[in-house]
Amino acid sequence: MTPDASPSSTISATSPAAVDRRTATREDVSRLLRDKPIILAPMEDVTDVVFRRLSRTLGADLTVTEFVNVEGLLRGCRNARRKLRLADDDALTAIQIYGSDPERLAEAASVAEEAEPLYVDINCGCWVPKIAARGAGAGWLRDPDAMVKMVSMVVARVKRPVTVKTRIGYGPESHMPIVELAARLEQTGIAALTIHCRTANMGHKGNADWKWAGLAQERVQIPVIVNGDVVSGEAAESALRSTKAAGVMVGRRAIEHPWVFREIRHRLATGTDLPAPTTKERFDLCRTHLLANVAERGLPHGVRVTRRHLTGYLSGIPGAAMLRQALFREDDLAKNLELIDEAEARAEKWTREGRTEPNRSEPNDIELSQPEQVVADHKSDAFANDAVSVA
């Protein structure tokens, strides 16, 4: 923790606590996941406590942690333990684990359930070669029999509900085991199944083929969640309509555009689309996420982990490229906040003047004074955004 950010500088959110995650049963989880939930997908280095809170505030019903490596967890690795920590407002949050050894996965699931997640999710879908090549993640799809046995072992070992996230197959596309595999996984006692509708060999290339989620949902009674290319309200509506699946999971789109959760929620409720986020909302979210990350991670790491989101947050704003370049060079919290303030004022001025680029005579650098006061001012009154607030 640093003097520039106090623990209270966090995003406030209230999850729809329909059940107590600490006592939720398999039936409770299945019921929640049948009710058209909008779920934040587990993403490494993204879905930490801050981003989960931000996503819930913007409309996500359930969230999942970053991937927790079972070997790191069982060795007591600090980063694995950090990922396992759930905040008081993580009311509907699951923990995802991954590994290649069934016994170690079962042992790690027992450790994970001590954190009292809503459920424990087993990652059988990560396609990244360094994961899948070792037999973890989507590597399990190379041997469906072994995958089913592993899931059975985990379900038998823990009291918490268990779910599985996987893909339609490892590849090639002519071999799609997911429908039969879904039926076999249901027999293990899992509460739900999330399907990323690409093969492992596809990675994130090509289009997700949602029909496989629909075929799996026809075959099983447990909820099937659709993942892959759920990038908008319209896409979510189409995925649910075409598959009759129970809910949708949003991954990479949320990194750059977390407003997607409220957009999906509005589309499913009304059949219409929300307007795009305003320029003010985009700048407010930059400040909010920055302050919350620094409060959680300290300096300079809190500033640096926010950067992966900025390209999307600032999309369409006049002068965005210039601002991103400046922010990516600066690790100081106060300077980041002042750069954002200056860019917002500049964007408003350029918009009034009908332009998107600076005049040659306009300076690109900011002279900063009293950085402590800059931070204090933002903590006290820069977060009136209705969508995301700092408490």
Q: Which residues pair with 389 in a beta bridge?
A: 12
Residue 342 and residue 344: Cα distance in Å, rounded?
Answer: 5
Q: Where are the beta strands (DSSP E) in the chain?
A: 11-12, 38-40, 62-69, 93-98, 120-124, 162-169, 192-199, 224-227, 247-250, 389-390
Q: Residue type at 119?
A: Y
Residue 296 and residue 221: Cα distance in Å, rounded?
Answer: 40
Q: Residue type at 82?
A: R
> Cα 206–199–132 angle (5° rounding)?
120
Nearest to 55 by CA among 350, 387, 368, 391: 387
Based on the residue annotation, tell me whether 126 is a catalytic residue of this protein.
yes
Residue 59 CA to chain centroid, in angstroms? 12
Cβ atoms of 102 and 150 closer than 8 Å? yes
Residue 159, helix vs strand vs coil: coil
Q: Which residues pair with 237 in a beta bridge?
A: none
Q: What are phi and psi of 117, to 5 degrees?
A: -75, 165
Cβ atoms of 73 and 106 closer than 8 Å? no
Residue 364 and residue 221: Cα distance in Å, rounded?
Answer: 59
Residue 196, helix vs strand vs coil: strand
- Whats the size of the chain, residue-wise? 391
Of these residues, 124, 126, 197, 286, which one is catalytic?
A: 126
Residue 28 and residue 49: Cα distance in Å, rounded?
Answer: 23
Active centre residues (catalytic): 126
